Amino acid sequence: MANVTIPVGPQHPALKEPECFKVTLDGEKIVGVEIRLGYNHRGIEKACEERTIVQSQYILERVCGICSHSHSTCFLMAVEEAGKIEVPRRALWIRTLIGELERIHSHLLWLGVAGHELGFDTLLMYTWRDRELVMDLLALISGNRVNYNMNVLGGARRDITDAHRAEIRKALPVFRERTAYYARVAQEESTLIARLSGVGRLTKEEAIFYNANGPTARGSGVDRDTRRDDPYLAFPELEFEVVLDDHSDVYGRTLVRIGELMQTYDLIEQIIDGLPEGPIGPARAIRRVAAGEAVSRYEAPRGEDIHYVCTNGTDKVERVKVRAPTLGNLPAVVRMLEGGFLADVPIVVAAIDPCFSCTDRGIRVARSQGQDVWDADALRAYAIEFYRKRGLDLTRVKAPGR
Amino acid sequence: MSHHPGRMVGELLRHSVRQPATIRYPAVKADLPDKFRGRIQFIAERCIGCRMCMRDCPSNAIHITKEGDKRFSCRIYLDRCIYCAQCVDTCPKDALYATMDFELAAFTHDALQRDYDAPPATAEPEAPPAPETKDSEGTGPGA
């Protein structure tokens, strides 16, 4: 029988965000995968060029709903490096604390989503219930559950009080107990092991070759963690272990995330114990930033987040480029899916903890012949012609924003 | 270590006799944290018209209009607002503050526009009313 091509997405029950995986099948077996990006392009980088740095910070915080603090911190770290702005030590520690709390909520969320993709909804319900505890902590410290807005150029926006520290200290034993329980479930529940073992295989060599990052790489035994390799914020002063696993499949990635949760609790304990005294931000809000350029790397819960920023001496940025962790992990997904089964697509894709909206930046498609870049008018003319051939007249539909 | 299915059955049984984890919102009022950033409120008497809030707003949600000598009105577009409360931190005269109001759903965009009139022209400058949540809002450097 000839090979069959099935599009998984852009609208598909297994995907929470629009992205297209064109899967070529030989029977049930996947023989080829083609990924199409760009369904959720929001023009964030361009929007930042037209706004001041103070405004861009909030726009970039909304690149991702889950690792929002990662993006805003990564951007500000780049701006501060480019403009040579000194950040008080206490502010660095506060940023680190929020980043690690965010890692707890992201990893617990992922564990639930993975359970859901397997049909193990019991795991989803309990992990998400436990996640509420860290959401409450973040709301207590920052005011809101998501988009904490804890950063300001050159410092932190809100302070950590003793009451906050006491609340975090109270929650840590609960987190530890629950995570130890999930670790036990992951190691003993035979259905989970059977379903995840050998699925989405990515050997160590392949992970390095396809440049996987974050827990995806560490689940294949690649010893790579920005927090240790290129320490930022308070990480030079903190001690933690990089969790590795050599299962090299979805099961390995699950174990890495659960192990990382335990390390994160240790990190949070170190931060609240050693939080230095001092100011949390500049006395006067900084608006203008000296000209310069910088690249900053940040270990977001999903993997390595990279921001490039070029400042020009005004209160705006000349250029900002965002590389979300998911974009780095997508080439590896193609390799993971090949040779697997169609039914494994949802869990293999979910195993990199994808965030497609974060990923979609402007991408120029290089073609060997013909026009490769279309402007809005050309795209509109093509769409009208496309639908006219199918008997639909869309000439009277107004283009947005005109 | 035993490998068998149903490792979470014990957990399920324990929870079958417990209270549900969900809260009874909206029957019970939501418990909001102190620093919650809700709808932004404008105090016209305090505004000096520097328009720094307009300049810093990432989503162009605030419009301050000059109505007369040192009198300014304000329009806030709640549908554009991203509730970052940067304007609250920016305002040098504390003329803006974040309320605990978050149940803002409406059927039209017009219903999400909030207009705050300028203080009357003839009125003597009087003591501005104290904002309800001022104490708990904004410990940042701008506040």
- For the stretch A123-160, pLDDT in tens is 999 999 999 999 999 999 998 888 898 999 999 999 99
Contact B76, B113 (CB under 8 A): yes
A368 touches chain B (CB under 8 A): no
Determine the distance from the C-alpha atom of residue A28 to the mean position of all C-alpha atoms in its chain, rounded to a whole number.
Answer: 31
pLDDT score, position A167: 92
Q: Which residue is listed with tokens 């690649």?
A: A222
pLDDT-derived band at B69 (thresholds 50, 70, 90) equals: confident
CB contact A126 to B (< 8 Å): yes
Mean pLDDT computed over every residue of chain A: 89
Whether residues A132 and B21 touch (CB distance < 8 A) is answered with: yes
Q: Look at B21 and B143; give whichever has higher pLDDT.
A: B21
Helix, strand or coil for residue A256? helix
CA distance linking residue B37 with residue A144, whole number of Å? 7
pLDDT band at B142 (very low <50, low <70, confident <90, very high): very low
Backbone angles phi, psi at A320, to 5 degrees: -135, 135
**What is the predicted pLDDT for the residue at A137?**
93
Residue B128 has a pLDDT of 57
A139 contact B CB<8A: yes
**Pick from A126, A142, A147: which is nearest to B35 by CB?**
A142
Quote the pLDDT of residue A308: 93
What DSSP designation does A34 have? E
Distance of CA B140 to CAs A90, A283, B15, Å? 13, 10, 42
Calculate mean pLDDT across residues A2-18: 85
Across A207-223, average pLDDT: 91
Q: How far is A234 from A263, CA to CA, in rounded Å?
A: 15
Mean pLDDT of A4-9: 88
ipTM at complex level: 0.79
Instruction: Report residue A48 CA to chain centroid gap.
Output: 19
pLDDT band at A401 (very low <50, low <70, confident <90, very high): low
- 3-state DSSP assignment of residue A218: helix
Kindly state the tokens that stand for B75. 């329009």
With CA atoms as reference, the chain A residue closest to B9 would be A122
Q: Where residue B137 falls among pLDDT bands split at 50, 70, 90?
A: very low
pLDDT tier at A94 (50, 70, 90 boundaries)?
A: very high
Q: Please check the confidence at residue A64 and state whether its pLDDT lies above 70.
A: yes
The gap from C-alpha A301 to its chain's centroid, in whole angstroms, comes to 6
Whether pLDDT at A335 is above 50? yes
In chain A, whose CA is at the least distance from the CA of B12? A122
CB A109 within 8 A of CB A129: no
Taking the C-alpha atoms of residue A129 and residue A112, their distance in angstroms, rounded to an integer, is 10
> What kind and span of H or E run contains A164?
helix A162-188
Is the pLDDT at A354 greater than 90? The verdict is no
Residue A63 and residue A44 in contact, taking contact as beta carbons nearer than 8 Å: yes
Torsion (CA) A281, A283, A289, A293 in degrees, nearest 10? -30
pLDDT value of position A362: 59
Tokens of A150: 């804890």
Q: Distance from B102 to chain A by nearest Cα, in Å?
A: 11
Q: CA of B34: which chain A residue's CA is closest?
A: A143
Tens-digit pLDDT profile for residues A279-308: 998 888 888 999 999 999 999 999 999 999
Q: Are strands A292-300 and B96-98 parallel, antiparallel or unpaired?
A: unpaired
Q: Taking CB atoms and an 8 Å limit, are A190 and B4 in contact across chains?
A: yes
pLDDT of residue A69: 93
- Chain A residues with CB under 8 Å of B89 CB are 152, 157, 285
Q: Lowest-pLDDT range, A132-146, A343-357, B126-140?
A: B126-140
Interface with chain B: mutation pick from A141, A148, A149, A189, highest number of B CBs within 10 Å: A149
Mean pLDDT for the stretch of residues B18-40: 88
pLDDT at B100 over 70: yes
Query: What's residue A24's pLDDT?
Result: 93
Residues from chain B contacting residue A281 (CB–CB below 8 Å): 140-141
Torsion of CA A220, A224, A228, A232, to 10 degrees: -120
Query: pLDDT over 90 for what percent of chain B?
Result: 40
CB-closest option in B1, B37, B56 to A143: B37
Confidence of residue A180 (pLDDT cuts 50, 70, 90): very high
> Taking residues A367-387, what's their average pLDDT?
76
Predicted pLDDT of residue A301: 92
* Best residue of A55, A85, A148, A187 to probe chain B, by most B CBs closer than 10 Å: A55
b or e along B22-39 (b: 16 or more beta carbons within 10 Å of the residue's beta carbon)? eeeeeeeeeebbebbbbb
Least confident range from A58-62, A215-219, A390-394, B55-59: namely A390-394
State both tokens at A165.
């520290």
Picking from B8, B33, B36, the nearest residue to A185 by CB comes out as B8
Mean pLDDT (chain B, rounded): 83
Domains and CATH numbers, chain A: 44-326 (1.10.645.10), 368-402 (no CATH)
CB atoms within 10 A of CB B104: 14
pLDDT at residue B124 in the model = 55
Distance from CA of A340 to the nearest CA of B (A): 24
**Residue A402 binned pLDDT confidence (cut-offs 50, 70, 90):** very low
Residue B136 has pLDDT above 50, yes or no: no
CA distance linking residue B135 with residue B94, whole number of Å: 11
- Indicate whether A256 pLDDT > 90: yes
Task: Count other Cβ atoms within 10 Å, centred on residue A191.
Answer: 15
> Does the pLDDT of residue B115 top 80, yes or no?
yes
**Inter-chain CB proximity A54 and B86 less than 8 Å:** yes
Query: Å from A59 to nearest chain B CA?
Result: 7
Query: What pLDDT shows up at residue B122?
Result: 65
Residue scoring higher pLDDT (A368 or B135): A368
Q: Is the pLDDT of residue B139 over 50?
A: no
pLDDT at A359: 83
Phi and psi at A91, nearest 5°, equal -60, -40
- Best CA proximity match to A200, nearest among A244, A250, A253, A256: A250
- CA-based R_g, chain B, Å: 22
